Amino acid sequence: MSPFTIEQTPLPGVVVIIPARFSDHRGFFSESYSAKALADHGITTQFVQDNQSLSVSQGTIRGLHFQAPPHAQDKLVRCANGVLFDVAVDIRKGSPTYAQWFGVELSFENGKQLLVPAGYAHGFVTRAPETEVIYKCSDYYAPETEGAVAWNDPQVGIDWGLGDIAPVLSEKDAIAPALADLNSPFTL
């Protein structure tokens, strides 16, 4: 029996991974990553770097980010504390799902993870204060290849679920270009 349940999404290659949890009176144990077990599901990405972020305020948006080739990154994202809404946007020119997005709630409680392949912009919004995110990357950070798409691009139309909460943004994310202005480095 696999320690993971894999849920397909409408976007090719973007999958939700749910590790099994084994609970008792002490709490739980979960195998959050296993290259061998994931390979049994056809996921063979080799990860080389782990990143961690803490967002103090609810409504913090980080993204939509990507790294261009030759340092494009697959990411495996999970929530270590709090709650976030994690999003992948297809930015691959020629893709039948170009400009479409998928989002899923990741939390410490549900243990879900999102696999975001290269060719997708990635971002999230925190739905609780003190939200901590940990993610694996398939290539090293290369700032010269960084790219971004506007979090509120109407062509993409992400429903971040902010309600009356004003988003907390970095300066870089506040001025990210629209997808229509991006010469995407990804092509099918």
Active site residues: 65, 135
Question: What CA dihedral angle connects 143, 146, 152 and 157, to 10 degrees?
Answer: -150
> Rounded distance, CA 162 to CA 164, Å?
6
Which position has the token pair 């929530």?
A: 79
Burial category of 18 from C-beta neighbours within 10 Å (exposed 0-12, middle 13-18, buried 19 and up): middle
